[in-house]
């Protein structure tokens, strides 16, 4: 069969861009198809706008704090139009990284239209039929909107329209205390909105409980209200919305944000006719990201599994490498990092303490170091939080960090979990003083302390000392 391309990639988000760019840079003939905006969720409705909003909120919070270090700032005045502009300036600034032109320069044929998969090796787009021996599906996900009574007749926001708001909510009610709920709750509160978060379980349920508690306490102190319960019924009109929970609470606010998770995009573009197997929330794939249909891969948010930009990028480059070389590449999640950009941040890599206990019981140990003992943190008066390292013997299974810039401190643990470094190497590394990253050295050293200062080294030191006294 004569193919029009070597690879067809559907979706121009983090996953599709990485896969398409990777294949094109190796000289393959690549068609990259995007039906909406290049850059996908992360650039347009996700990471970039949310982190830009968080930055504006941090500035307001800092100014709101009373005199610190003998320096008094003027109380903040928030202009929503300026916050909105900062969010959209950040998107515009990053847009060229993901643009049609950039990917054409890399060698992709970029087609801005909706794709329809019409066969194992064929895709219809813009009136053309493209064919290739490999197809990569990277169609992403969309906000899951739960079947809450009254929601279809009540105005609500999701991450798809939140960043386009022309006015600042007076009282933002958020259904869902997951990652989006928590990041947005703190930000809007800091910008001056009243905020209520409705969550039936533990906020940020995938993270270490002890670490998340530090954030919940901070947000509660800042005035975010947490309501335990499941949203059951909503009603109202723009500016006056009421939510009732199964815990008999009724909350009335001006705006409603739905943040209860994601739904993989798996319908309306031909998967049904291909009889492609689906999992609970997304396309079913194996470790190599192969779907049940020969020659077709699925990567990023559209398949069942973790949904993060760096995960999409990782899968995109793995699949590109597999297509380019013809050799298998498998995903490996044992050193998967993630971070929630609240203040303080909560960063996790590998196993949490509770995951590790479930798997290894009392064979694990946990070393905990507090930022209260870190001299940079003390000098900066930013001592909130801690680092927990979960170990089996001297091997790191995971690390949880809560504190200022926690996400920046994960890298050494990537190296130790993957075996490229060790707790011994980390514990004996030279680290600039004073830095917050000294905390990872302190934890690694603490793991070795009982061995280093144990009875055998002491006996050896005594022997050396005795020899010196005898023969000097
Ligand atoms: C508010 C929010 C904040 C987030 N913050 C972070 C963060 O800080 N860090 C982090 O790691 N992750 C974050 N995420 C998650 C991250 O945004 C996603 O995991 C990531 O963007 C997924 O990338 P993707 O390429 O798999 O999918 P997407 O980015 O969704 O891309 C899929 C693309 O496919 C296109 N498409 C779909 N169907 C078709 C079709 N038939 N034809 C043509 N094109 C099609 C879509 O238009 C879309 O552009 C956040 C998410 C949200 C919602
Ligand atoms: N910093 C980051 O990396 C970052 C930031 C934002 C989003 N994301 C990604 O975006 C995705 C979606 O985030 P999310 O916050 O929407 O989902 P989530 O899965 O993190 O949290 C959803 C929460 O909603 C709650 N919930 C479900 N039904 C409810 C109901 N009826 N009433 C009240 N609460 C209810 C759940 O208990 C859960 O805690 C995640 O996959 C995440 O990986 C990542």
Using one digit for the tens of pLDDT, what is the confidence trace for 400-446?
999 999 999 999 999 999 999 999 999 999 999 999 999 999 999 99
Mutational test site, ligand 2, from 13, 145, 180, max ligand atoms within 8 Å of CB:
180
Q: 43: Cβ below 6 Å to ligand 1? A: no
Contacting residues for 351 by C-beta, under 8 A, at least 6 apart: 359, 390, 397, 398
Residue 310 DSSP SS3: helix
For residue 81, the surrounding DSSP H or E stretch is helix 80-94
Q: What is the whole-number distance in angstroms between the Cα of residue 420 and the centre of ligand 1?
A: 31
Ligand 2 in reach of 338 Cβ (< 6 A): yes
Residue 299, Ramachandran bin (φ over 0: left; ψ between -120 and 50: alpha; else beta): beta
Q: Is there an atom of ligand 2 within 6 Å of 181 CB? A: yes
H/E element, 278:
strand 278-279
CA atoms 40, 45, 46, 50: torsion sign: positive
ipTM comes to 0.98
Q: Which residues sit opposite 119 in a β-bridge?
A: 122
Strands 262-264 and 141-143: antiparallel
For the CA of 206, the nearest atom of ligand 2: 20
176 assigned binding-site residue: yes
Neighbours of 128 (CB within 10 A): 11
Domain(s) labelled CATH 3.50.50.60 in the chain stretch across 7-38+99-143+263-325, 151-261
The CATH number of domain 151-261, selected from 3.30.499.10, 3.50.50.60, 1.10.10.10, 3.40.50.2020: 3.50.50.60
What separation in angstroms does the CA of 324 have from each of 19, 20, 189, 318?
A: 10, 11, 48, 10
Q: What is the pLDDT of residue 65?
A: 84
What pLDDT does 472 receive? 84
For residue 434, say if its preceding peptide bond is cis, omega within 30 degrees of 0: yes
Looking from the CA of residue 245, the nearest atom of ligand 2 is 32
pLDDT in tens, the chain (472 residues): 799 999 999 999 999 999 999 999 999 999 999 999 999 999 999 999 999 999 999 999 999 987 889 999 999 999 999 999 999 999 999 999 999 999 999 999 999 999 999 999 999 999 999 999 999 999 999 999 999 999 999 999 999 999 999 999 999 999 999 999 999 999 999 999 999 999 999 999 999 999 999 999 999 999 999 999 999 999 999 999 999 999 999 999 999 999 999 999 999 999 999 999 999 999 999 999 999 999 999 999 999 999 999 999 999 999 999 999 999 999 999 999 999 999 999 999 999 999 999 999 999 999 999 999 999 999 999 999 999 999 999 999 999 999 999 999 999 999 999 999 999 999 999 999 999 999 999 999 999 999 999 999 999 999 999 999 999 8
Residues of the chain with CATH 3.30.390.30: 337-453
Distance 308 CA to ligand 1 centre (A): 8
| Residue located via tokens 């930022």 | 371
CATH of domain 7-38+99-143+263-325: 3.50.50.60
**Separation CA 345–CA 353 (nearest Å):** 18
CATH among 1.20.140.10, 3.40.50.1220, 3.30.390.30, 3.90.550.10 for 337-453 = 3.30.390.30
Question: Are 50 and 84 spatial neighbours (Cβ–Cβ below 8 Å)?
Answer: no
Atom 25 in ligand 2: which residue has the minimum CA distance? Answer: 176
Q: For position 66, what pLDDT does the model report?
A: 76
266 is in an annotated binding site: no
Residue closest by Cα to atom 35 of ligand 1: 11
Record the tokens describing residue 91, joined without a space: 């998107």
Residue of 154, 229, 209 lying closest to 357 (CA atoms): 209
3-state class (DSSP) for residue 240: strand
140 CB within 6 A, ligand 1: yes
């Amino acid at each position: 069969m004569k193919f029009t391309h070597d690879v067809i990639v559907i979706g121009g988000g983090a996953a599709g861009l990485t896969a398409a760019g990777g294949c094109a840079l190796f000289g393959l003939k690549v068609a990259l198809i995007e039906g909406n905006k290049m850059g996908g969720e992360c650039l347009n409705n996700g990471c970039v706008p949310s982190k830009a909003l968080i930055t504006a909120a941090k500035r307001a919070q800092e100014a709101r704090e009373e005199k610190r270090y003998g320096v008094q700032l003027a109380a903040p005045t928030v202009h929503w139009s300026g916050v909105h502009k900062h969010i959209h300036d950040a998107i515009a600034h990053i847009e060229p990284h993901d643009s049609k032109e950039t990917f054409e320069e890399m060698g992709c044929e970029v087609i801005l239209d909706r794709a329809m998969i019409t066969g194992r090796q064929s895709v219809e787009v813009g009136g053309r039929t493209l064919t290739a021996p490999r197809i990569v599906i990277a169609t992403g996900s969309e906000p899951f909107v739960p079947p809450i009574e009254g929601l279809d007749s009540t105005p609500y926001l999701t991450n798809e329209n939140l960043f386009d708001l022309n006015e600042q909510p007076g009282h933002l009610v958020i259904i869902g205390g997951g990652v989006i709920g928590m990041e947005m709750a703190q930000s809007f509160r800091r910008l001056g909105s009243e905020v209520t978060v409705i969550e039936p379980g533990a906020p940020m349920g995938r993270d270490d409980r002890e670490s998340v508690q530090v954030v919940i306490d901070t947000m509660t102190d800042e005035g975010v209200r947490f309501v335990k319960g499941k949203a059951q019924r909503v009603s109202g009109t723009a500016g006056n919305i009421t939510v009732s929970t199964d815990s008999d609470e009724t909350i009335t606010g001006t705006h409603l944000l739905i943040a209860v998770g994601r739904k993989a995009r798996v319908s309306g573009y031909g998967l049904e006719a291909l009889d492609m197997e689906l999992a609970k929330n997304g396309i079913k794939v194996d470790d190599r990201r192969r779907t049940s249909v020969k020659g077709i891969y699925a990567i990023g948010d559209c398949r069942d599994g973790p949904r993060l930009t760096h995960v999409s990028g990782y899968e995109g480059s793995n699949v590109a490498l597999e297509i380019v070389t013809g050799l298998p590449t498998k995903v490996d999640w044992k050193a998967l990092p993630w971070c929630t950009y609240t203040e303080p941040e909560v960063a996790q890599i590998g196993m949490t303490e509770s995951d590790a206990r479930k798997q290894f019981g009392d064979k694990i140990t946990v070393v905990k170091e507090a930022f209260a003992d870190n001299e940079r943190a003390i000098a900066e008066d930013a001592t909130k939080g801690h680092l927990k390292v979960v170990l089996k013997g001297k091997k790191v299974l995971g690390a949880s960090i809560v504190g200022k810039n926690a996400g920046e401190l994960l890298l050494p643990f990537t190296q130790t979990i993957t075996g490229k470094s060790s707790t011994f190497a980390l514990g004996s590394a030279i680290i600039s003083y004073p830095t917050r990253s000294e905390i990872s050295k302190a934890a690694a050293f603490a793991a070795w302390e009982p061995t280093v200062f144990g009875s055998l080294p002491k006996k050896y030191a005594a022997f050396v000392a005795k020899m010196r006294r005898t023969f000097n």
